[in-house]
Amino acid sequence: MATTVITGRDLSLTIDSKNYGDQCTSASLKTSLERNTYETIDGKVFFALDTEATLEITMLADWGANAPASSICEAMWTAASTAPNTALTYTFTAASGAVFTGSVYPSFPDAGGSGKDAQEVSFTLQGTAKPTLTIS
Amino acid sequence: MPASTILSAVRGPLATALAGVSANVFSYVPESVPVPAVVLVPASPYLEFDTIGSSTFRCKINFTISCCVTYSSNPASLDNIEQLIESVVLAIPAGYEISDVQRPTVTQVGASNLLVADIGVSTHYTRTV
């Protein structure tokens, strides 16, 4: 079997219908299982209780870009400020044919940076539930 | 045919922004260099692909802005190139990262000696169709 390689160039991400590809330098969807461990007389038993998902994003800051509706940072700030409990839908393509969908709660982006480099923004968005993976 | 090119979206506008400095400005490497001169030269790596996705051509572009003055007397030439560097840095528009200025070196171009210092700048480009 040939080795399969997919890279960050295979990723695509939209949140609340905004395409993050122009600004995003790194994106990771992390899904974890919370497990309880029980010590029985026969040994350890594991039981899955819950699933948690987070979307970790690092992107080039775009504060002030064009109109407010065009700035991802400003859109995310507005969502976190005015409707923090309203989830935003996302579509995260890992590679062609493997698409994760779900919803995340908005978070406040950072602001600032060093004099030498482009300003970058990092934020972690809490998922509402386990992402849905669609394989085609 | 794309609506934008690196020349039209980055090199040309950067050269235009630098047009106010007291030097001949080139968005490419000219065959001969009439000093004082400011020349945009591709740096290495020239293009870096640091954003996700591949549906659109997006990249970080690294340039060297070479500032060139006549090399005659060392104190006067150094003063001239320092003043040229200051005016170039002030003229670089928003959206460009300025990394550093390499130390001035004497470079022979044709029959004349030039004092040359390189300013590292970077920006991001997205091709629009």
pLDDT, residue B119, reads 97
Residue to mutate among A14, A22, A56, A96, with most B CBs inside 10 A, is A22
The count of structural domains within chain B is 1
Within 8 A of B98 by CB-CB distance, chain A residues are 116
Hey, is B16 helix, strand or coil?
helix
Domain interval for residue A38 = 8-135
Residue B83: partners with Cβ closer than 8 Å, 6 or more residues away: none
Least Cα separation, residue A116 to chain B (angstroms): 6
The count of structural domains within chain A is 1
pLDDT, residue B1, reads 60
Which residue on chain A is closest to B99 by alpha carbon?
A116
In a domain, A1, yes or no: no
Please say whether the beta carbons of A118 and B123 come within 8 A. no
In a domain, A2, yes or no: no
Percent of chain A whose predicted confidence (pLDDT) is above 70: 98
Residue A43: partners with Cβ closer than 8 Å, 6 or more residues away: none
Could you report the predicted ipTM of this complex, rounded to two decimals?
Answer: 0.82
Is the predicted pLDDT of residue B118 greater than 90, yes or no? yes
Q: For A33-86, how does the pLDDT look when each residue is reduced to its tens digit (9 = 90+)?
A: 999 999 999 999 999 999 999 999 999 999 988 755 589 999 999 999 999 999
pLDDT, residue A100, reads 97
Of A67-76, B40-49, B108-117, the poorest mean pLDDT is in A67-76
In a domain, A107, yes or no: yes
Please say whether the beta carbons of A60 and A128 come within 8 A. no
Which residue on chain B is closest to A25 by alpha carbon?
B51
Least Cα separation, residue B61 to chain A (angstroms): 13
- The Cα B62–Cα B39 span in angstroms is 14
- Return the CATH number at A89: 2.40.30
pLDDT, residue A33, reads 95
Average confidence score pLDDT of chain A: 93
In a domain, B41, yes or no: yes
- Return the CATH number at B83: 3.30.70.1700
In a domain, B1, yes or no: no
Among partner residues B97, B99, B126, which is closest to A22 by beta-carbon distance?
Answer: B126
In a domain, A47, yes or no: yes
pTM of the model: 0.85
- The Cα A67–Cα A128 span in angstroms is 29
In a domain, B69, yes or no: yes
pLDDT, residue B62, reads 96
Binned at pLDDT 50, 70 and 90, residue B37 comes out as: very high
Domain interval for residue B115 = 6-126
CA A36, A39, A44, A45 torsion: positive or negative?
negative
Asked if A9 and B98 come within 8 Å (Cβ–Cβ), the reply is no
Average confidence score pLDDT of chain B: 91
Alpha helices in chain A (DSSP H): 72-82
Q: For B60-102, how does the pLDDT look when each residue is reduced to its tens digit (9 = 90+)?
A: 999 999 999 999 888 999 999 999 999 999 999 999 999 999 9
pLDDT, residue B2, reads 66
